[in-house]
Chain A
Amino acid sequence: MTEHNPLSQFRVVGTRPVRPDGIDKVTGKAIYGPDHVAPGMIHGAILRSPHPHARIRSIDTSKALALPGVKAAVTGQDLPHLPGKSVSLGEGEADLANLSCNCLARDKALYEGHAVAAVAATSASIAREALKLITVDYEVLPHVIDLEDAARDDAPILHPDLRTQGAEEPSDKPTNIAFTFALKQGDAAKALDGAAAVASGRFAMPPVHQGYIEPHACVASWNADGQGQVWCSSQGPFMVRAVTAGVLDIPVSDVRVTPLEIGGGFGGKTTIYLEPVAMLLSRKAGRPVRLAMSREDVFRASGPAPGLVVDIRIGADAEGNLVGIEADMLYDAGAFPGGGTMLGPLVLSNMYRYPAVDIRTRDAVSNKPSVAAYRAPAAPQITFAIESCIDDIAAQLGMDPIAFRLKNALRPGDTSAMGMECGEIGFVECLDSANAQDHLKAPLGDNEGRGIAAGYWINIGGASSASVSLAEDGSVAVVTGNPDIGGSRASMAIMASERLGVPYEKVRPIIGDTATIGYSVVTGGSRTTFAVGRAVVQACDTIIADMKKRAANVWQVAEDDVEWRNGAVHCTAKGNDNAPMTITEMAENANTTGGPIAAEVSINPHDSLPAYGVHICDVAVDPETGHVSIKRYTVVQDVGRAIHPDYVEGQMQGGAVQGIGWALNEAYIYNSKGCLDNPGFLDYRMPVASDLPMIDTVIVEKPNPAHPYGVKGVGEVPIVPPLAAIGNAVKAATGKRIRELPMSPDRVFAAINGGK
């Protein structure tokens, strides 16, 4: 079932045309990261540490270089040393020293799979052979994998120079705790001690991987004159340019990045792993070099989402008003500092009204791959704890879980605990819509249970550029710098078509490289249709204004007497019978009215609005095995406005299913040697088609006043509620509250058979 009742005020917005890049993608013609070939290209390979923590005493590549066909070898010593340097990515920044060390280890290998050396050869098989000829002298060091162990005072130290940022009492003692943040308002302990209902507990979950099907891959070509080119799939070519140039310590103008089609990212391709290494190899070999990860490399060495351990306590008074929250969060950072520590408090403070708040968050480094963004970074983890507790409190008070949430939900005009004012958010509308779903009334069978949970995500805006130009026949080229990860070409084309009054089929949306269009931050943060879309619409408005001016000149009337309507200029001057001129006529006559008609617009909006979603989930729990299966699932979400509802629903469904995998199956499993035991899709089990029912969607549209068509951003929030929705459903089915993920059969079986 899908529910979407668009307002009929638009001609194209809200319709479901075929995506412009569609045929290439169903016929195998689209060129993704691992598909690009450059003339004369050779093949790179990366040697990775077998140890989770080891000092690198020396690396000898001479035998590898002597193998016929090998053209270059590099180690971390070939990268410039950049202590303390960072580069802005528009939203946030990257620490270049850490990023460089993650691309190629300098002094120490910090996790199993950490890149330590690389070669390039005339064939991939020769490159792989060459890796075996590299000798690395390791001094194996004690390692720490477990998050809580890593935070202890006596843990093996990863970075001797690391000191906790944000600590109230700065210490000069080495630590693995990279960051801490606390937020206190009122007396939460007192409020909770006097509460009528309190839910509390320790919730814990290991890292999980984004699981994009396309492994990271790139081709780099770096010429002797210093000019380099990179072809790769990523969530942002400008991000790749900034960090590649930054790590190599060269001007950004010497790196031109051409985005290829991207085979999934989910946040995991908002950083880089290969590009500077491929550049170095290319410079040494004098040839373009391809580097590509295997699936094992992806699991062992690219960013998972952080695990979390949180002690949480939430309480309400007898009338069902929340009185306070305490939470002490510890997030994984992986091998390097820079996890999304601030995001936990952000989520905690943006769902419900709490008169008293006492929260602390920290992140700790450990000998695991450096974490990366994953769809609403840090939100699913903490929301699992929040929404489990909220459900338990409602149950204690004998209140309906939706009514209880409605009573406490943030509304427009409220101010969150972090001081952000809520604009036209749609949390209440989502809860109301969920409340009206037939799903809630459907009967349940034996061993079945129903759970609901809500989720929040901030949605960002940020620097965005778009150009719109008319071809001589009135067709429209729309160029942006944002990779199309799930249908954004279609939404850009729809918005341009709507604004300009031209048929959708006459709009050609193009993803430009870093030299062809102004700067844009990544496709991520649920920002593209909001921020880049707004740039597209503003560029359309600019050429409309230009065409009106030209028409006024043609007709020799005042500009005020020219109106833009239905894809044409109309003369409104009294007693004037000038026939309207369509956009096609304006384009045909462009060169006799002042030249080509085109505009580029760059903006930096920050008035995006958060997304809220409410998920309803029915599970069946097999009492014999503890296996949990999803019987029915409904996603309700405020999207502001759905530009192309198919791809909006697709985000809602895909996010929910990633959340289902997180809740039930997915986890990084380490052995006692500190090595990842499940670096493949067989043992890291993501949901497959036969695990799932259809995922029903209900699109709620409460428009965002800051977007010309009301867009709020869609992509991330759907992964937030499933963990708790499923936990709440399992509780309803079994009476047991499970506080650890994944809710795998053994854990559920233990819970229903007398475990805690």
Chain B
Amino acid sequence: MAIRVVPLAPVDSQFFGGRSELVVEAGNLFAVIRALEAIAPGFLKYAQTRAWFSVNGAIEGDWTATIPPDSEVIILPAIAGG
């Protein structure tokens, strides 16, 4: 299932040579991140601690949850509060 991945800065330049969009085959975030790790080694570690993943507009914290085909995944830097 093709998933459109949109890495926001700084992830785009840090890992994906400035590409604003990638397409990977995946059924959940684990598979998305595995695919991205294959493209950009080191991304997995970043993803574990520093990224949030928005699936079709909503933050998804469970990487095992099924992602529907043709979904859009945005990679955001993790945000904390006060």
Task: List residues of chain A with CB under 8 Å of any chain B CB.
Answer: 86-89, 91-93, 165-168, 170, 179-183, 210, 266-268, 270, 340, 342-343, 346, 373-377, 415, 418-421, 423, 457-462, 522, 524-527, 604-607, 715-716
B13 at the interface (CB under 8 A from A): yes
Q: Are B76 and A342 in contact (CB under 8 A)?
A: yes
> 7 new A-B pairs (CB below 8 Å) besides A376-B81, A415-B57, A459-B81?
A93-B49, A168-B13, A267-B81, A420-B57, A421-B57, A458-B81, A606-B61
Confirm or deny: B78 has a beta carbon within 8 angstroms of a beta carbon on chain A: yes
Q: Which residues of B contact A340 (CB under 8 A)?
A: 79-80
CB distance from A550 to the nearest CB of B (A): 31
Question: Which residues does chain A contribute within 8 Å of B19, judged by CB atoms?
Answer: none
User: Measured between C-beta atoms, what is the minimum distance from B80 to chain A in Å?
Assistant: 4
In order of increasing CB-CB distance, the 10 nearest A-B pairs are A525-B81, A267-B82, A421-B57, A166-B10, A606-B61, A373-B82, A93-B49, A88-B49, A606-B59, A91-B80
Collect the chain A residues with CB atoms within 8 Å of residue B8's CB.
181, 183, 418
Cα–Cα distance between A313 and B58 once the two chains are bound (Å): 29
Contacts of A91 in B (CB 8 A): 78-81
Chief secondary structure at chain A's binding surface: loop
**A181-B80 in contact given A604-B61, A606-B61 (Cβ < 8 Å):** no
- Which of B9, B10, B79: most chain A CB closer than 10 A? B9
Complex CA–CA separation, A420 to B13 (angstroms): 21
A523 vs chain B, min Cβ distance (A) = 10
Given known A165-B14, A167-B13, A179-B10, contact A373–B81 (CB-CB < 8 A): yes
Instruction: Specify which of A182, A461, A605, A607 is in contact with B9 (CB 8 Å cutoff).
Output: A182
User: Bound complex: CA of A668 vs CA of B8, how far in Å?
Assistant: 33
Interface size range of chain B in the complex: 20 to 34
Cβ of B6 within 8 Å of any chain A Cβ, yes or no, is yes
Q: Which of the listed residues A166, A343, A423, A527 has the most CB atoms from chain B within 10 Å of its own CB? A: A166
Q: A91-B79, A373-B80 are in contact. Are A181 and B10 (CB under 8 A)?
A: yes
Q: In the complex the two chains form, is B82's CB within 8 Å of A181's CB?
A: no
Instruction: Indicate whether B74 reaches chain A with its CB closer than 8 angstroms.
Output: yes
| B81 partner residues in chain A, CB cutoff 8 A | 91, 267, 373, 376-377, 457-460, 524-527, 716
A421 with B56: CB separation less than 8 A: yes
Chain A contacts for B37, CB-based, 8 A: none
CB within 8 Å for A342 and B77 given contacts A165-B14, A179-B10: yes
A419 touches B74 (CB 8 A): yes
Q: Which residue of chain B has the shortest Cβ distance to A526 in the bound complex?
A: B81
A460: chain B residues within 8 A (beta carbon)? 79-81
> Contacts of A526 on B, CB cut-off 8 Å?
81
In angstroms, Cα B52 to Cα A343, docked, is 13
Contact assessment for B80 and A525 in the assembled complex, using a CB-CB cutoff below 8 Å: yes
Name the A residues within 8 Å of B10 (CB-CB).
Answer: 165-166, 179-181
A180–B82 touching, CB < 8 Å:
no
Cα(A89)–Cα(B81), bound, Å: 12
* B28 interface hit (Cβ, 8 Å): no
Q: How far is the CA of A373 from the CA of B79 in the complex (A)?
A: 11
Residue numbers in B under 8 Å from A524 (CB-CB): 80-82
Contact A607 B14 (CB under 8 A): no
B54 at the A interface (CB under 8 A): yes
Q: How far in angstroms is the closest Cβ of chain A from B14?
A: 7
Contacts A168-B13, A180-B9, A605-B61 hold; do A89 and B76 have CB atoms under 8 A apart? Answer: no
- Cα A373 to Cα B82 in complex, Å, equals 5
Within 8 Å CB of A183, what residues of B? Answer: 8-9
B residues 66-82 touching A (CB-CB < 8 Å): 72, 74, 76-82
| Subset of 17 A-B contacts with CB under 8 Å | A92-B50, A166-B9, A166-B13, A168-B18, A181-B8, A181-B10, A346-B79, A373-B80, A373-B81, A374-B82, A377-B81, A418-B8, A419-B6, A460-B81, A525-B81, A607-B58, A716-B81
Cross-chain contact B78 with A92 (CB below 8 angstroms): yes
Residues of B within 8 A of A165 (CB): 10, 14
A166-B76 contact in complex given A92-B50, A421-B58, C-beta closer than 8 Å: no
- Is there an interface contact between B60 and A181, defined as CB atoms closer than 8 Å? no
**Cβ contact of A458, chosen from B9, B50, B72, B79, cutoff 8 A:** B79
Residues of B within 8 A of A373 (CB): 80-82
Residues of A within 8 A of B74 (CB): 418-419
Q: Assess whether B79 is in contact with A606, with CB atoms less than 8 Å apart.
A: no
Q: Measured between C-beta atoms, what is the minimum distance from A714 to chain B in Å?
A: 12
Report the Cα distance A270→B81, complex, angstroms: 9
Distance in Å: Cβ of B9 to nearest Cβ of chain A: 5
Q: A419-B74, A604-B61, A607-B59 are in contact. Are A92 and B80 (CB under 8 A)?
A: yes
User: Contacts of B62 on A, CB cut-off 8 Å?
Assistant: 604
Q: Which residues of B contact A607 (CB under 8 A)?
A: 58-59
